[in-house]
Amino acid sequence: MASPRGEFRSRLGFILAAAGSAVGLGNIWGFPTQAASNGGAAFLITYLLLAFVLAYPALMAELLIGRHTHRNMVMALGSLPKRNALASLGRLTGIGGLITASMILSFYAIVAGWMLGFAASYPLSAAGMASTGDWLVTFSSPRNLALMLLFMILTMAVVLGGVEDGIERWSRRLMPLLIATLTALALYVLTLEGALTGLKIYLLPDFEKVLSGDLLIDALGSAFFSLSLGVGTMLIYGSYLSDAENVPSVGAQVALVDVGIAVLAGFLILPAMYVADARGVPIFNDAGGLLSEDTLIFTVLPALFETMEGAGTWLATAFFALMSIAALTSSISMLEVPVAYLIERHDLSRRNATLLAGGVIAGFSALIVLNFGTLFGWVITISTRYSQPALGILICIFAGWLWQRDALLQELKKNDVDAEQRLFWKIWPLYVKWLCPVIIGVILAQSVL
């Protein structure tokens, strides 16, 4: 059925778009290195558990609220409770989500811009434009600004196309490309000397390291970031899902793809680090731990590519293109949050909404670039460490406490007459009501203290 609001054309289109949102820099960059430094397979198991025990129910809360209301986060949460005061709290939570999504995009676009810069730098240098290539990979405000703007323009161009012709179309094109590139890179790296050492570290569990509380917090934080929770990205994608789809099942598929790609990335990153080690590239820090995050991506891997001469150029280009694609399918979901709100609440055209939201976020991002030392870390901490889990709790409360049980059941029955008999109905409502807010709350409290 054609609807005036956007609607995903197919189930696969939705799964690829939502998985595209979930799969981003967090998966390919964050997860494998955390696993490497934290007990390998033991971390993997913990992460899988947390993803399904905690993140999946929270994901379901967003998808179901979105699909039920077919509205943006502000209007969706505002419409669930019967009482006026609570409706205002809903709208306020929605606004919080919209601001947080915009903040996340404002730093994400800077990092994604670096990925674009690295991806372009290798072919340019190979073609004899070494100084341009160098400029693209050397930290400076003009370069950060230019690449961030380029990335924001790409993001806005996709969102401008709307749900079917922008988000769904590009997710369908880019996600298979991402999976193919990731697989090919992993297979190639696994043939190189040193790769097996990395593989062993990744796959042999060291249980001692897993049980620490800090680690659980980290793993939960990354599961939350990785599934794009708390800020309404999944809610808005759910709102574009047809009533004919079974939400618990498509939600599970999205979570599986997200976790699957993180695991797959581990088969690339860990072996690559030990291949680098075998070639004399330093991969340990002073404390004896593995280098991770920004040093890994922007120092270790480029040094590894350098040892490979001709093949290195191709590998490097493919790797950073992969990162750029992963970032783009995520950033479009963040931008869609404020854009949908502006369209539905303030009657803007999609074009104007995209230009306005994208422009404001790019402006804020430019502010971060120009005050990098003070603002960059601060914006990341506020948005991902505090705001995201806090909003996550509120969303669980809305789903578990303020949404009438009958209405929820009707929602599930839209495409499954036996919904009442399902395990999901027996467990999930109690789960989001009690367990989710409490566990997230405990973890949040620990990171605040």
Nearest residue to ligand TRP on Cβ basis: 24
Q: Assess 329 for contact with ligand TRP (CB under 6 A).
A: no
**How many residues bind to ligand TRP according to rule CB under 6 A?**
17
Among 185, 199, 231, 396, binds ligand TRP (CB under 6 A): 231
If the CB atoms of residues 69 and 233 are measured against ligand TRP, the closer one turns out to be: 233
Over the window 102 to 121, marking each residue x when it contacts ligand TRP by CB under 6 A and - when it does not, the resulting string is: --x-----------------
Residue 65: φ, ψ to 5°: -60, -45
Among 118, 170, 225, 364, binds ligand TRP (CB under 6 A): 225
Q: Assess 33 for contact with ligand TRP (CB under 6 A).
A: no
Question: Which region among 67-75, 222-230, 354-362, 414-422 touches ligand TRP (by CB under 6 A)?
Answer: 222-230
Q: Assess 228 for contact with ligand TRP (CB under 6 A).
A: yes
What does the block give as tokens for 40? 């390998």
Residue 284: φ, ψ to 5°: -110, 150
Question: Which region among 21-29, 116-124, 247-255, 399-407 touches ligand TRP (by CB under 6 A)?
Answer: 21-29
Q: 31 with 265: CB under 8 angstroms?
A: yes
Q: Assess 40 for contact with ligand TRP (CB under 6 A).
A: no
If the CB atoms of residues 19 and 136 are measured against ligand TRP, the closer one turns out to be: 19
Report in angstroms how near the CB of residue 313 gets to ligand TRP at its nearest: 26
Q: Which helix (H) or strand (E) holds 248?
A: helix 247-278
Among 226, 239, 354, 365, binds ligand TRP (CB under 6 A): 226
Cα distance between residue 367 and residue 361, in whole Å: 10
Over the window 382 to 401, marking each residue x when it contacts ligand TRP by CB under 6 A and - when it does not, the resulting string is: ------x-------------
Which long-range contacts link 413-422 to residues 24+ away (Cβ below 8 Å)? 414/243, 414/244, 415/243, 415/244, 415/245, 415/246, 416/246, 422/248
Q: Which helix (H) or strand (E) holds 448?
A: helix 436-448
Sort 268 into a burial class: Cβ within 10 Å, 0-12 / 13-18 / 19+: buried
Cα distance between residue 436 and residue 443, in whole Å: 11
Q: 36 with 292: CB under 8 angstroms?
A: yes
Cα distance between residue 182 and residue 267, in whole Å: 9
Other Cβ atoms less than 10 A from the Cβ of 86: the count is 17
Report in angstroms how near the CB of residue 388 gets to ligand TRP at its nearest: 6
Over the window 49 to 88, marking each residue x when it contacts ligand TRP by CB under 6 A and - when it does not, the resulting string is: ----------------------------------------
Among 15, 16, 19, 22, binds ligand TRP (CB under 6 A): 22
If the CB atoms of residues 112 and 290 are measured against ligand TRP, the closer one turns out to be: 112
Q: Assess 233 for contact with ligand TRP (CB under 6 A).
A: yes
If the CB atoms of residues 231 and 412 are measured against ligand TRP, the closer one turns out to be: 231
Among 6, 13, 20, 24, binds ligand TRP (CB under 6 A): 24
Q: How far is Cα of residue 446 from the mean position of the Cα atoms in its chain?
A: 23
What does the block give as tokens for 85? 């005061």
Region for 445 from its dihedrals, namely left if φ exceeds 0, alpha if ψ lies in -120 to 50, beta otherwise: alpha
User: At 362, which amino acid appears?
Assistant: A
Q: Helices (H) and strands (E) in the chain — how many of each?
A: 25, 0
Supply the DSSP string of 36-59, one letter for each residue.
HHTTTHHHHHHHHHHIIIIIHHHH
Report in angstroms how near the CB of residue 105 gets to ligand TRP at its nearest: 8
Could you list the residues that contact ligand TRP (CB under 6 A)? 21-22, 24-27, 101, 104, 225-226, 228, 231, 233, 330, 333-334, 388
